[in-house]
Amino acid sequence: MGDLLLETAGWLGYLERPAVLFQLLGTGLAVGLYMAWGRRGGTSPQSRIRRRWVLLGSLALYAALLAALARPHRLVLLLVLLTAGWFGLSALRRRLARSMPAEQLQQLDTGLLRPLYLLVAFLLLVQEVDSRRNLALIPMGSWFGNELTAGQLFQALLVLYLLLMGSGPPTKALARLVQRLIGVSDSGRRALALVLQYALVGLGVIWTLDQVGFNRTAIVAVAGGLSVGLGFGVKEVFSNFISGLWLLFEGSVRPGDVLFIDGDPCEVRRLGLRAAVLWRDRDNAELVIPNQTFFTTPTITYTGTDRLRRGQVLVGAAYQHDPAVVIALLERTAAAVTGVLASPAPKGLVMGYGDSAIQYAVRFWISDPLQNISVSSAVNTAVWQAFRREGIAIPFPQMVLHQAPGEPPGTEQAGQERQAENP
């Protein structure tokens, strides 16, 4: 490690050369003008593109001026190429946005493309001040009884990073190919992609440990210790892992399903190997539910075979109104509400006879289970307006106390007071 620090400290001597400082001064001036223009020139896409072209043009002109004056200009030219490549990544992202989901594009851009580009840029800049081959041969010490160089460590970490961040798209493509060949379900395809990704990452970790000199016998010993730990310390994690694989293969819970959790409909946004992420509509909250919960507690789903859900509105009408007329009005009113399906048609029912009203219900179907509350509210409002328009009374409970003949005065009031004391 000390040799590496000494080697990198020698780069300061390169930066102190007058020719290098002259190139960096002009480059820094162009970048400063670009940033100052950005604060005043607006944030529209056209303005950003125009500023980028001006920056690249100014750097290219500066490199051409240095070349015409027979002054060193390789560093400026390299910075022009690297800046153009960085701006090219933004153009590539805009093109990929037309065919990729936003979440996957964000992960690909910030997790793989830009870090790799920065790494390549760093290596090219290092080549200007030093030799990459000499850096790779610098010893990093003895690890597990073997000498490790900076090149071996860098290679092992790079491969591990590529597997962690870049194994998703290839495994998904392979799983999609398997789906086309043997016709597995979408849930099986997603499960196969995750299994392939984790297997690939696991093999990469083993290869990385082998590259840095980790003893294979020690790897087997660590695996044995982990197997014992699975039975004690990480039992719940392993249980959730197996439950996640089972759910993905079985397809009983899929992304997009609507589950009834704690009295609220929730949409499954993502199903991982440890937990499922559900979205609750009423407060825009995300719930993280461990996978084994779906195996240990009953779960109600509204999208098992289809997404239709039946809603119901209860209402009371006075006894003097004909039930047939009330039922027909309820069915017409519910059918006119936005969100209520025409087929199956709304159905009005007499639910019972109350103390002061006949109890009715109108049942209807909607296509989106998450809209049940809002559609039911709209049906309730429409029923109230229809009853008011048609002159149908909605009575409220009343209690009338009569004084029996022969009872002394005040008995009725006393009875009311006793009822108030003992409701």
136-145, 237-246, 310-319 — which is least confidently predicted? 136-145
Mean pLDDT, residues 307-332: 91
Written as six digits, the tokens of 21 are: 């400082």
For residue 291, CA distances in Å to 98, 126, 255, 268 come to 34, 47, 13, 12
How far apart are alpha carbons 191 and 39 in whole angstroms? 47
pLDDT band, very low/low/confident/very high, at 309 (cuts 50, 70, 90) = confident
Mean pLDDT, residues 352-370: 90
Per domain, the residue ranges of the chain are 1-137, 249-301, 309-390
Answer whether 164's CB lies under 8 Å from 201's CB.
yes
Which comes out higher in pLDDT, residue 352 or 139? 352
- Residue 23 CB coordination number (10 Å): 23
pLDDT of residue 232: 56
Answer whether 227's CB lies under 8 Å from 241's CB.
no
Report the percentage of the chain scoring pLDDT > 70: 76
How far apart are alpha carbons 187 and 251 in whole angstroms? 5
Residue 245 has pLDDT above 70, yes or no: yes
pLDDT tens digits, residue range 92-103?
888 888 877 777
pLDDT tens digits, residue range 164-193?
777 777 788 888 888 888 877 676 677 778
How far apart are alpha carbons 183 and 197 in whole angstroms? 20
Mean pLDDT, residues 133-156: 70
pLDDT band, very low/low/confident/very high, at 388 (cuts 50, 70, 90) = very high
SS (H, E, C) 104-127: HHHHHHHHHHHHHHHHHHHHHHHH
Which comes out higher in pLDDT, residue 330 or 162? 330
Cα 331 from chain centroid (whole Å): 41
Class (C level, CATH) for 309-390: alpha beta
Report the percentage of the chain scoring pLDDT > 90: 16
Answer whether 365's CB lies under 8 Å from 341's CB.
yes
DSSP 408: P
Mean pLDDT, residues 99-121: 81
Cβ contacts of 157-160, under 8 Å, gap ≥ 24:
157/208, 158/119, 159/204, 159/207, 159/208, 159/211, 160/204, 160/205, 160/208
pLDDT tens digits, residue range 267-293?
888 877 778 888 888 788 888 888 888
219-228, 235-244, 280-289 — which is least confidently predicted? 219-228
Which comes out higher in pLDDT, residue 52 or 379? 379
- Most confident range (mean pLDDT) of 136-140, 178-182, 350-354 is 350-354
Kindly report the average pLDDT of the chain as a whole number: 77
- Residue 139 CB coordination number (10 Å): 13
Residue 13 has pLDDT above 90, yes or no: no
pLDDT of residue 195: 78
User: Looking at this protein, which amino acid is placed at residue 256?
Assistant: G
60-64, 159-163, 402-406 — which is least confidently predicted? 402-406
Termini Cα distance of the chain: 83
pLDDT of residue 292: 84
pLDDT band, very low/low/confident/very high, at 422 (cuts 50, 70, 90) = very low
Strand ranges inside 196-326, DSSP E: 258-261, 264-271, 275-280, 285-290, 300-301, 309-317
Mean pLDDT, residues 208-213: 72
CATH topology of domain 249-301: SH3 type barrels. (2.30.30)
Mean pLDDT, residues 106-133: 80
How far apart are alpha carbons 291 and 92 in whole angstroms? 37
DSSP annotation string for 139-181 = EEEEETTEEEEHHHHHHHHHHHHHHHHHSHHHHHHHHHHHHHH
pLDDT of residue 363: 95
pLDDT band, very low/low/confident/very high, at 220 (cuts 50, 70, 90) = low
Partners of 347 in the β-ladder: 363
Mean pLDDT, residues 200-205: 80
Strand ranges inside 354-410, DSSP E: 358-366
68-72, 170-174, 300-304 — which is least confidently predicted? 300-304
